[in-house]
Amino acid sequence: MSIFEYNGSAVVAMVGKNCFAIASDRRLGVNLQTIATDFQRIYKIHDKLYIGLSGLATDAQTLYQRLVFRHKLYQLREERDMKPETFASLVSALLYEKRFGPYFCQPVIAGLDDDDVPFICTMDCLGAKELAKDFVVSGTASESLYGVCESMYKPNMESEELFETISQALLSSVDRDCLSGWGGHVLLVTPTEVVERTLKGRMD
């Protein structure tokens, strides 16, 4: 089993009309044994910027701590929040620093920029950025996620419809992957509010 499949994970982000949604599964496993069913993979950087980290859980946690550290210093120095594109460049640079001993994570970054235009991107464990206008996926369930998102996604969905779509996409993909699942965590971010919801799916 590869190191990326050690803990199991599924993360997806989608762009809607002036909003975005980011979702993850809740299983934390050690190979085939399930250790936790409430594991948090999506972290807040600031009110309009979230990062989901799939892959090895310990690296995800450490990377998140480093990113929060960098962002807090940035906020103090520059007296403003980081733009999502800037943050994505920072994550990419931090990952590439470890080119020959990488963090085994695949981040999914989602945010609203200063004009409240949604921004999503993903990158591999070495920092190769992939910007997308519609959706980005990562984790052990990524192949299923690609398929489901491709067929279910429509541009310019309103927040409620976006929530339904991303939830269905996540649940049906993790059902086909034994290493991810045990419910879902969905965050829907609009310029005015953030709605966090927990999904109940097949608890296996």
Residues that bind other proteins (CB under 8 A): 77-78, 83, 85-86, 89-90, 93
Q: Could you tell me which residues come within 8 angstroms of residue 142 by beta carbon, excluding any fewer than 6 positions away?
A: 10, 54
Q: How far is the CB of 131 from other proteins (least distance, A)?
A: 12
Q: Which residue, 85 or 134, is less far from other proteins as judged by CB?
A: 85
Smallest gap, in angstroms, from Cβ of residue 115 to other proteins?
A: 12
Q: Which is nearer to other proteins, 131 or 203 (CB)?
A: 131
- Min CB(123)–other proteins separation in Å: 13
Is residue 56 within 8 A of residue 104, CB to CB? The reply is yes
* Length of the chain as a residue count: 204
Nearer Cβ to other proteins (77/200) = 77
Q: How far is the CB of 87 from other proteins (least distance, A)?
A: 9
3-state secondary structure of 15: strand
Name the CA dihedral angle for 5, 10, 11, 17, rounded to a multiple of 10 degrees: 150
Indicate the residue among 41 and 71 with the shorter CB distance to other proteins.
71
- Residue 121 near residue 88, CB atoms below 8 Å: yes
DSSP H helical ranges for 17-137: 57-78, 84-97
Residue with tokens 């460049």: 89
Closer residue to other proteins in complex, CB, 90/152:
90
The structure tokens 């398929």 sit at 147
Q: Minimum distance from CB of 95 to other proteins (Å)?
A: 12
Distance CA 18, CA 137 (A): 20
